[in-house]
Amino acid sequence: MNPPVFQVVGYKNSGKTHLIRRLVSSFKQMGLVVAVIKHDMHGFDIDHEGTDTFAIRNAGASAVAIASPWRTAIMYEQSMELGRLIETFKEYDVIIIEGYKEMDYPKLVMVRTLEELESLTALPNIIGFVSKVELASLDDYIQKEPRSNSNILSWLHSDDTQGIMNLIQSTLDL
């Protein structure tokens, strides 16, 4: 059985990673072991020229693993479905996903402007909106927009780590 999963989504530079770092720390203080899956639409490389693993990948290996007593990294030269990634972390207590906006896991949506809010509000399974900025019209917008895909809808300031943790815990029954 997979552990509870939730998402933090939003546009680039909206504070997703900063919030996730604080949430990971809070979960760790609770004694929970956390896995994070980060989606990157722009491409990335965690390996670099001059390493053995880079040379092996460059020679044509479809996957390379490197392991030490403290850390393991596996690099696949292919995309991997989110469900398979989640299955990889089934022994963890909670999984946080950064990105994958369209997936149907409970999600916090990071917003900076009313325009971002309006463009992200149709995403599935939103449990709350999180922002650094106070949007005067946000509360009015949330009040007047019917929400058929969520029983819980909260507006939280991104500095309110405890409030965000409370929402996540109650949503995931932690």
78 alpha carbon, distance to own chain's centre: 21
pLDDT at 142 over 60: no
| pLDDT tens-place string over residues 54-92 | 899 889 899 998 899 998 888 888 888 999 999 999 999
Cα separation, 105 vs 144, whole angstroms: 24
Backbone Cα Rg of the chain? 18
Quote the pLDDT of residue 137: 53
- The full set of domain ranges for the chain reads 5-45+81-172
pLDDT at 123 over 70: yes
Give the Cβ contact number of residue 146 at 10 Å: 4
Mean pLDDT of the 43-63 span: 85
pLDDT at 10 over 60: yes
pLDDT at 148 over 70: no
What number of helices (H) and strands (E) belong to the chain?
6, 8
Are 84 and 95 in contact by the 8 Å Cβ rule? The answer is: no
- Supply the mean pLDDT for the chain: 86
Cα separation, 28 vs 14, whole angstroms: 24
Q: Which CATH number is correct for 5-45+81-172, 3.90.550.10, 3.40.50.300, 3.40.190.10, 3.40.50.1110?
A: 3.40.50.300
pTM: 0.84
Residue with tokens 């963890």: 92
Buried b (16+ CB within 10 A) or exposed e, 44-76: eeebeeeeebbeebeeeeeebeeeeeeeeeebe
Are 7 and 92 in contact by the 8 Å Cβ rule? The answer is: no
Are 122 and 150 in contact by the 8 Å Cβ rule? The answer is: no
